[in-house]
Amino acid sequence: MAARTLPIKKRGFSFEVFMWAFTRFTVIAMYGLILAGIIGALIASARTGANFADILYWSFFPNLAESPLGKNFGMIILAKLMVIAFVLVVCGHGVHGVLEIWDDYVTSESGRRWARYIVISYAVAASLAAMYIIWIA
C-alpha cells in the first residue's frame, strides 16, 4: 500500500503547520548554538590559555572576576547575546511542547485559544525577565 501525501499547496497555512515547522527549525537552531558555543569556548581557551573545563565552568557560573575572557568586552557581549539567543530558542521550542500537551487534554476551541494566550504570554514575560537578568549580570 502506497503512502498518501498531501501536496503543500493543499495543506494550507495554519497555526499548527507554523508551529510544526517552528519546532523543527528550533531544534536545528539549538544544535547550531550549542556547536557555536563549544567552538567559541575552544577559541577563547586558545586565546587566553585557559583549559576547556575552565571555559565550560565559566559559561555555567559566569563570574566576571574569574572569567577566562578577562576584560575583553566584545567577547563578554558576544557570550551574553549567544546565551540570550539560546534562551529564546529553547523557550519557543518549549512553548510548542506545552501547547501540544495542552491540546491533547482540552477539547474546546475556546479553551485551546485561551491556553495559547496564557502560555505564550507567560513565555514572553519569562523570556523578557531572562534577557534582562542575563544582560545585567
Asked if the structure places residue 60 within a domain, the reply is yes
Q: Is the pLDDT of residue 6 over 70?
A: no
Q: Are residues 96 and 121 in the same domain?
A: yes
Q: Report which of 77, 93, 104 is spatially closest to residue 20, judged by C-alpha positions.
A: 93
What number of H helices and E strands is found in the chain? 5, 0
Q: Are residues 88 and 132 in the same domain?
A: yes
- pLDDT score recorded for residue 90: 92
- pLDDT score recorded for residue 12: 72
Could you give the number of structural domains in the chain?
2
Asked if the structure places residue 93 within a domain, the reply is yes
Q: Can you give the residue range of the structural domain that contains 109? A: 81-137
CB 99 within 8 A of CB 116: yes
Q: Among residues 16, 43, 71, which one ends one of the domains?
A: 71
Q: What percentage of residues in the chain have a pLDDT greater than 70?
A: 77
Backbone torsions φ then ψ of 40, nearest 5 degrees? -65, -40
Dihedral of the alpha carbons of 117, 119, 120, 123, in degrees to the nearest 10: 150
Give residue-wise pLDDT tens across range 28-38: 999 998 888 77
